[in-house]
C-alpha cells in the first residue's frame, strides 16, 4: 500500500457541543428494527481522547443512534487507548465490544469500517482486520435521532475531524472495503444508502451524496477546515485495489468498480417493486394503530410509585396522560389516579379549546405526599389500644379524612363527563358481585346478577371512595341507588377482586369491540401496567404454623392483594411474549421490589414517603430506555 494525499474541506468538532443531527431516521431501513446486515466506513482523525463514556461504555462517540430521552440501537466511538468502541443493541446482550491495538492515534487520519452481518462483526482499522460476534443477530428498535460527532446519550462528544462517511445496506467484502479506502466514492454505487463527504466548506447542512437526501443539520459551531486525507492505494491494479492520481481518474475508477451484491441484497431490491396483486394485499394488511391501555394497581400510600412514573411519562411526552391512552383502568389507589387523570377542567366547558385534564400526575401525587397522614389518621388513644381494637372493634381508620380529601379533589363531578374511558373496580359485599365504574353511559349494566357497570348518577367521588374502601382499614362505602331492592350499593376495595386490573381492562376492550362486530387481537393492544411494589417479606413455616386470626389478619390481606397483582402480571408477560414473538414487546410492566419496612399500605410517615419516592426514581433510572421507548410509542 502507498498513500495518496487528497486535500478537501472537512468538519472539525470541538468536543463541547458540536454535532450533526440527521433526525429520527432509519437511513433507508439500515438502522431499523430487525436489520441484520450493514456496513459503515469512513475516515476519522481524533484530536483528543477522554475517558468520559456513555452508560453503555462507548467513549468519544463519533456516530450514534442514542439519546437520554428515546430508545437506542448503536454507538461507535474511540477509547482513550485508541481502540474502536462498538455498541450495538441486538435485542439480547447489549454489551460494548472494543477492537484494535491502539491504531486510532491522536492527530492522524485513520480509515475504519464496521461490518455487521447477522450478529457477526468484522472491523477494519487502517491495515488491520478484527472479528467478533454478538449474541443477537439483528438491531433492536430505536427512536433516537442519528448523530455524528456526538451522542445525545449522556452528551458524550467527539473532538476531531471526520470525512467520507458511508452507510451500506449489506455486509461489504474485504475487497470492497479496500475500495472504500483507496478513493472517494461517487455516490451511485449499488447498496450505498448514505454518503457524507463532509466537505461542504460552509453552511449549516451536510449533504447526502448518495442522492437519498439523508441530509444533516449542524448543531453547536463545528468549523470547516482544509485537511489532507490519506487514501491507501494498492501497488498493483486489481479489482478492489485501484490506483488513482487525479480527481477525474478517481471518479472514473469509482464508476467502473464492480460491487458484487450478495444474493439476499438482490432479493431485497426485487422485493421493493411488488406486483400489483402483492401491492393490494400489502395495503389490505396495513397494521392498525395500537389500542393503548393503562392499568394501575392498588396499594394505598404506595400509589406514590405509579404516580411518579406517570409524572415522568408526562414530562417526557409533554402530554397529559389521558391523551396518550384509549382506556385507563385502576383499582384502589390506582382507581383514584385513573379517575383524577381523566377529570376535565371545568373552566373550559363550552369553550372551543381542546379538552384538558384538571390534574397532572404530579398534582395527583400530592394526594399521597400532602394528605396521606390525614387519610391514614389514627387518634392517639386508638393507637394505644393497638391491633386488637382494629381487629375486633372497628376499622383502623375513620373514613372522614379520606372522604374529605377525595371530595376536595373530585367534588360532585359526574362520572360520565370524564375525558377518556375509565374502568375502576369495586365489590358489593351484600350482593356479592364485582362492581365496575365506567364513564361510558352506553356500557352501563344494572340488571346482571353476576356484575354491574355503573355510570349515570354516580360521581368521581363515589367511584374513588368505593374502590379504596379497604376492609379492616376503612368502613365499606354505601352509595344510594334504585338499582337494588335495599336502595344501596355497599362497596369495598376493588383490589380484593382485581388489584392488578390489566387483564380485566384487556377483556373490557375486546368485548366492547366484539359487541360492535369488530376484532381486537392481542397484537393490536399495547398495555402499560404500573405496580405499587412487589412484596418480599418471608413467613417461615415454623413461625406461622401456630398462627391464629390475630396474627394472620394483616399478612393475609397483603398476600391477597400482592398475589393477585403478581399472578396477573406473570400471565400477561407470558401471553405477550408469545404474541409478540420476534417483535418488540407491547407489554410494559413497571414494578419495583419492596423491602419489608415499605410494604405497609398505610404508613404515611415522612421517612416512608421519602423512601417510596426514592424507590420510584431508582426504578425510572433502571428502566430509562424502556420508558423512552414507551414514550415514543405513546407520542406517535
| All domains of the chain in start order, with CATH | 4-231 (2.60.120.200), 291-380+389-635 (3.40.1090.10)
pLDDT in tens, 483-496: 988 899 999 999 99
C-alpha cell at 605: 410517615
User: Would you state the pLDDT for residue 432?
Assistant: 95
User: Would you state the pLDDT for residue 388?
Assistant: 45
Residues forming beta bridges with residue 159, ordered by sequence position: 14, 48
User: Would you state the pLDDT for residue 248?
Assistant: 37
Residue of 629 and 286 predicted with greater confidence: 629
From the list 100, 85, 240, 232, the residue with the least C-alpha distance to 173 is: 240
Task: Evaluate if residue 475 carries a pLDDT over 50.
Answer: yes
Q: Is the pTM of this model over 0.85?
A: no
Considering the chain, what percentage of its residues have pLDDT values greater than 70?
Answer: 85
Integer Cα distance of 636 and 631 in angstroms: 9
C-alpha cell at 203: 453552511
From the list 263, 343, 239, 314, the residue with the least C-alpha distance to 635 is: 314
Task: Evaluate if residue 393 carries a pLDDT over 60.
Answer: no
Task: Evaluate if residue 250 carries a pLDDT over 50.
Answer: no
Which of these ranges, 273-282, 335-344, 390-399, has the smallest mean pLDDT? Answer: 273-282
User: Would you state the pLDDT for residue 347?
Assistant: 66
Task: Evaluate if residue 348 carries a pLDDT over 80.
Answer: no
Considering the chain, what percentage of its residues have pLDDT values greater than 90?
Answer: 61
Q: Indicate the pLDDT class of residue 636, thresholds 50, 70 and 90.
A: confident
Integer Cα distance of 549 and 572 in angstroms: 34
Integer Cα distance of 553 and 207 in angstroms: 70
Task: Evaluate if residue 246 carries a pLDDT over 70.
Answer: no
Task: Evaluate if residue 579 carries a pLDDT over 70.
Answer: yes
Task: Evaluate if residue 381 carries a pLDDT over 80.
Answer: no
Q: Indicate the pLDDT class of residue 351, thresholds 50, 70 and 90.
A: low
Residues near 316 by beta carbon (within 8 Å), at least 6 away in sequence: 69, 627, 628, 631
Q: Indicate the pLDDT class of residue 4, thresholds 50, 70 and 90.
A: low
- Please provide the size of the chain in residues: 636
For residue 249, give Cα distances in angstroms to 242, 246, 366: 10, 5, 72
User: Would you state the pLDDT for residue 288?
Assistant: 47
User: Would you state the pLDDT for residue 247?
Assistant: 34
User: Would you state the pLDDT for residue 378?
Assistant: 63
**pLDDT, average across residues 533-540:** 88
pLDDT in tens, 14-57: 999 999 999 988 898 899 888 999 999 999 999 999 999 998 89
Residue of 261 and 393 predicted with greater confidence: 393
Q: Indicate the pLDDT class of residue 60, thresholds 50, 70 and 90.
A: very high
Please, what sign has the CA dihedral across residues 451, 454, 460, 465?
negative
User: Would you state the pLDDT for residue 5?
Assistant: 67
User: Would you state the pLDDT for residue 241?
Assistant: 35
**pLDDT, average across residues 249-271:** 37
Task: Evaluate if residue 402 carries a pLDDT over 70.
Answer: yes
**pLDDT, average across residues 449-461:** 95
Task: Evaluate if residue 398 carries a pLDDT over 80.
Answer: yes
Q: Indicate the pLDDT class of residue 261, thresholds 50, 70 and 90.
A: very low
Integer Cα distance of 115 and 92 in angstroms: 19
User: Would you state the pLDDT for residue 184?
Assistant: 86
User: Would you state the pLDDT for residue 235?
Assistant: 44
Residues near 543 by beta carbon (within 8 Å), at least 6 away in sequence: none
From the list 619, 585, 46, the residue with the least C-alpha distance to 310 is: 619
Beta strands 84-88 and 96-99: pairing type?
antiparallel
* Residue 504 near residue 329 (C-beta atoms within 8 A): yes
Task: Evaluate if residue 115 carries a pLDDT over 70.
Answer: yes
Residues forming beta bridges with residue 33, ordered by sequence position: none
Q: Helices then strands (H, E): number in the chain?
A: 17, 27
C-alpha cell at 350: 363550552
Mean pLDDT of the chain: 85
609-630: b (≥16 Cβ within 10 Å) or e: bebbbebbeebbeebbbebbbb
pLDDT in tens, 435-448: 999 999 999 999 99
Residues forming beta bridges with residue 490, ordered by sequence position: 478
Amino acid at each position: 500500500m502507498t498513500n495518496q494525499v487528497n486535500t478537501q474541506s472537512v468538519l472539525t468538532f470541538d468536543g463541547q457541543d458540536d454535532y450533526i443531527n440527521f433526525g429520527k431516521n432509519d437511513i433507508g431501513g439500515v438502522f431499523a428494527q430487525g436489520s441484520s446486515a450493514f456496513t459503515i466506513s469512513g475516515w476519522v482523525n481524533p484530536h483528543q481522547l477522554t475517558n468520559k463514556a456513555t452508560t453503555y461504555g462507548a467513549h468519544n462517540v463519533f456516530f450514534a443512534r442514542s439519546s437520554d430521552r428515546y430508545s437506542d440501537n448503536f454507538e461507535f466511538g474511540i477509547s482513550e487507548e485508541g481502540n474502536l468502541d462498538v455498541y450495538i443493541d441486538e435485542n439480547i446482550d447489549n454489551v460494548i465490544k472494543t477492537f484494535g491495538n491502539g491504531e486510532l492515534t491522536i492527530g492522524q487520519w485513520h480509515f475504519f469500517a464496521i461490518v455487521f452481518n447477522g450478529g457477526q462483526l468484522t472491523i477494519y482499522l487502517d491495515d488491520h482486520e478484527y472479528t467478533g460476534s454478538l449474541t443477537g443477530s439483528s438491531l433492536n428498535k430505536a427512536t433516537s435521532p442519528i448523530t455524528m460527532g456526538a451522542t445525545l446519550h449522556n452528551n458524550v462528544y467527539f473532538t476531531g475531524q471526520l470525512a467520507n462517511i458511508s452507510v451500506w445496506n449489506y455486509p461489504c467484502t474485504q475487497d470492497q472495503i479496500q475500495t472504500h479506502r483507496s478513493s472517494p466514492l461517487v455516490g451511485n454505487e449499488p447498496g450505498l444508502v448514505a454518503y457524507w463527504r463532509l466537505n461542504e466548506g460552509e453552511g449549516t447542512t451536510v449533504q447526502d451524496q448518495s442522492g437519498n437526501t439523508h441530509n444533516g443539520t449542524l448543531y453547536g459551531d463545528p468549523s470547516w477546515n482544509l485537511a489532507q486525507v490519506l487514501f491507501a492505494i494498492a501497488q498493483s491494479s486489481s479489482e478492489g485495489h485501484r490506483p488513482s492520481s487525479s480527481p477525474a481518474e478517481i471518479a472514473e475508477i469509482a464508476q467502473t468498480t464492480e460491487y458484487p451484491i450478495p444474493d439476499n441484497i438482490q432479493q431485497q431490491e426485487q422485493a421493493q417493486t411488488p406486483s400489483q396483486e402483492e401491492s393490494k394485499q400489502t395495503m389490505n394488511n396495513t397494521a392498525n394503530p395500537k389500542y393503548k391501555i393503562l392499568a394501575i394497581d392498588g396499594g394505598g400510600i404506595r400509589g406514590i410509585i405509579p404516580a411518579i412514573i406517570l409524572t415522568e411519562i408526562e414530562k417526557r411526552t409533554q402530554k397529559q396522560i389521558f391523551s396518550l391512552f384509549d382506556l385507563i383502568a385502576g383499582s384502589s389507589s390506582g382507581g383514584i389516579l385513573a379517575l383524577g387523570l381523566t377529570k376535565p377542567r371545568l373552566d373550559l366547558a363550552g369553550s372551543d379549546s381542546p379538552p384538558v385534564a384538571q390534574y397532572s400526575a404530579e398534582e395527583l401525587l400530592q394526594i399521597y405526599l400532602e394528605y396521606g397522614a390525614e387519610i391514614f389518621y389514627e387518634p392517639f388513644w386508638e393507637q394505644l389500644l393497638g391491633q386488637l381494637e382494629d381487629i375486633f372493634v372497628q376499622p383502623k381508620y375513620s373514613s372522614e379524612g379520606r372522604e374529605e380529601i377525595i371530595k376536595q379533589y373530585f367534588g360532585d363531578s359526574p362520572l360520565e363527563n370524564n375525558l377518556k374511558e375509565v374502568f375502576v373496580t369495586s365489590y358489593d359485599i351484600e350482593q356479592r358481585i364485582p362492581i365496575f365504574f365506567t364513564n361510558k353511559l352506553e356500557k352501563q349494566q344494572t340488571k346482571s346478577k353476576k356484575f354491574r357497570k355503573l355510570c349515570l348518577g354516580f360521581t368521581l367521588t363515589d367511584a374513588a371512595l368505593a374502590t379504596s374502601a379497604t376492609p379492616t382499614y376503612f368502613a365499606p362505602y354505601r352509595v344510594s341507588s334504585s338499582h337494588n331492592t335495599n336502595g344501596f350499593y355497599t362497596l369495598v376495595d376493588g383490589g380484593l377482586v382485581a388489584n392488578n386490573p390489566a387483564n380485566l381492562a384487556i377483556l373490557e376492550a375486546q368485548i366492547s369491540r366484539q359487541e360492535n362486530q369488530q376484532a381486537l387481537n392481542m397484537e393490536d393492544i399495547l398495555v402499560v401496567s404500573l405496580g405499587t411494589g412487589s412484596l418480599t417479606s418471608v413467613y417461615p413455616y415454623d413461625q406461622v404454623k401456630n398462627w391464629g386470626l390475630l396474627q394472620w389478619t394483616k399478612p393475609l390481606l397483603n398476600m391477597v392483594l400482592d398475589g393477585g397483582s403478581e399472578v396477573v402480571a406473570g400471565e400477561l408477560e407470558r401471553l405477550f411474549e408469545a404474541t409478540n414473538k420476534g417483535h418488540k414487546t407491547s407489554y410494559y410492566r413497571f414494578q419495583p421490589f419492596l423491602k419489608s419496612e415499605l410494604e405497609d399500605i398505610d404508613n404515611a410517615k415522612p421517612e416512608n414517603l421519602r423512601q417510596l419516592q426514592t424507590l420510584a426514581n431508582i426504578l425510572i433510572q433502571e428502566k430509562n430506555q424502556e420508558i423512552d421507548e414507551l414514550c415514543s410509542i405513546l407520542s406517535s
